A and B are shown apart, each in its own frame.
Chain A
């Protein structure tokens, strides 16, 4: 178990969270503004809806909670995003997010970590979003790999 250290130490079987929070309108609007999604459902509607990609920032929420030492010695590179939405998430919803490190492996000299996350509605336990996130722990250029 590598919980309590830095992100680059995370290993298979590590459980992150759960972390609970309430989705705020500020968060939805700010995120969508930053990535130029100006549709009414994210900016102007009375009942704003969570853009599915916002689950990615829940990963940082989990990292901050489980790895107080920070990122570690190297910058991560995001490699793969895979999110499935089962039901809409709306502003005001009380949510619980958790993660589990499913794989950690080396391929072509690069170290990969795969984490599965689940976002649930606290009130009912309903699974709202399942997210598979894959990162490379440290960037290595092709020339370096060949060396």
Chain B
């Protein structure tokens, strides 16, 4: 089980946060593919869907890709998971996350989600507002996903 957030949060601008590196395995891509019809059905059972570019090499090649690639939302969620680990449930209460997929993530590519604190301010209500640069990189530090985040912590 993931740890609850540190309290009080005392991150300073420049602080860098990172997840452990994870291989974007075929299974991880498949989990996300299957989650979509399963959630759409919402009947407590697992459902699957027709071939996609995220789980079927032949279909991906037919679409002009060299093979399956990860759904961009997986890397967005890995970044979000990092931010929830740091800031807790408040990240799901008052926040913003923006990500752009600048390079495809291929099978077994090693991915680390990262965040760097940019600013820490207080708003008119006394809430603490963090802004962060966020990204996912591979094991050569090549950026695959880039973006920004904001989280507002109540006073």
Binding site for B on A (CB under 8 A): 24, 26-27, 30-31, 33-44, 49-53, 56-57, 60-61, 64, 74-75, 77-89, 138-141, 144
Contact = CB atoms under 8 A, between A and B. Distances in A.
Q: 9 closest A-B pairs (Cβ-Cβ)?
A: A35-B77, A34-B35, A41-B89, A78-B72, A88-B93, A82-B98, A84-B96, A34-B31, A39-B2
Interface residues of B, number: 45
A27 B44 CA distance: 9
A52 B71 contact: no
B53 interface: yes
Interface of B: 1-2, 4, 28, 31-32, 34-36, 38-40, 42, 44, 52-53, 59, 63-65, 71-74, 76-78, 80-81, 84-85, 88-89, 91-101, 147
Contact of B77 (A26, A53, A138): A53
A80 B95 contact: no
A79 B104 CA distance: 10
Contact of A139 (B64, B78, B95, B99): B64
Contacts of B59: 75
A129 B104 CA distance: 27
A83 B134 CA distance: 14
Contacts of B2: 37-40
B113 to A, nearest CB: 11
Given A57-B39, A84-B96, A44 B1 contact: yes
A22 to B, nearest CB: 9
